[in-house]
Amino acid sequence: MASVGRNPSALAGSRAECGVTPNPARVLAIDYGRRRLGLALSDALGLTAQPLTTLARANRRDDLRWLRELVRRHGVQRIIVGHPLHLDGSAGEMAAEAARFAARIEKQLSLPVELVDERLSSWEAEQMHAVKEAYSAERRGLARRQGGRGVRRRRGRGVRIQESPKIDQMAAAVILRDYLGRERARADSAESAATIPTQQARHKREQARS
């Protein structure tokens, strides 16, 4: 598998010689939620993923208008939406909602939109666990700083901390990093498959000369 740190121009040239067309694109990832949308963005070559922002949802029209402006501003060419399937692979209510949301934005924004299974990688699960650990530490720190003042309480259960919107954009970044990794692996596999016939033809020509 090619390293992410490899010179992108050299990698593109190698694939072009093998008949593999590179497809660099800026990708937007969306971690779907009923109250918020976590967003992450790739670089222009589709190699790295960074958390972008979190959208507090208002209504369909305003959400789409906001996404359309973000897509225009950042030159997004492709969108992926996390598909929250159950661990057994079945689709529950949230997965169905995410699928409808993906179909709607594909139609309204006129961009390719792909649903991405969030369970596909153990690496992703480990990253999500690390994010949740960091979030728990953030909650504990906030509770200590506020001393229980100015936050909502749940009867009989003490202080309840509002969820941080950062967790949503971080989750989107994890989904995007995993997706980009799979895309690179697929391109590398195609490159290797295209290289083999070329090497065989070269070997036959050398044998014919000898």
Q: What is the distance between the alpha carbons of residues 81 and 28, in angstroms, rounded to a whole number?
A: 9
Q: What Å distances lie between residue 180 and 98, 195, 199, CA to CA?
A: 20, 22, 28
pLDDT band at 16 (very low <50, low <70, confident <90, very high): very low
In a shared domain, residues 112 and 54:
yes
Asked whether residue 15 carries a pLDDT value surpassing 50, the answer given is no
- Is the pLDDT score of 154 beyond 70? no
- Domain shared by 39 and 72, yes or no: yes
For residues 29 and 176, the answer to whether their CB atoms sit within 8 Å is yes
Give the C-alpha separation, 177 to 126, whole Å: 13
Output b/e per residue, 135-165; b: 16+ Cβ within 10 A. beeebeeeeeeeeeeeeeeeeeeeeeeeeeb
pLDDT at 201: 65
Tally the domains of the chain: 2
Cα 78 from Cα 149, distance rounded (Å): 44
Greater pLDDT, 32 or 210: 32
> Are residues 54 and 131 both part of a single domain?
no
The residue that leads in pLDDT, 15 or 146, is 146
pLDDT of residue 99: 96
Q: Are residues 26 and 47 in the same domain?
A: yes
pLDDT at 158 over 50: no
Considering the domain architecture, whether residues 94 and 127 belong to the same structural domain is answered as no
Lowest-confidence region among 9-18, 30-39, 112-121: 9-18
Could you tell me the two tokens for 114?
A: 């792909």
Which amino acid, 67? Answer: L
Do 38 and 99 have their domain in common? yes
Structure token digits, residue 130: 């690390």
Q: Which residue has better confidence, 84 or 126?
A: 84
Residues 176-200, mean pLDDT to the nearest whole number: 76
Q: How far apart are CA 7 and CA 2, in angstroms?
A: 10
What residues make up the domain containing 55? 22-119
Shared-domain flag, residues 103 and 135: no
Let me know whether 89 and 29 are in one domain: yes
Q: Collapse the DSSP code of 36 into the 3-class scheme (helix H, G, I; strand E, B; otherwise coil) and give the result.
A: strand
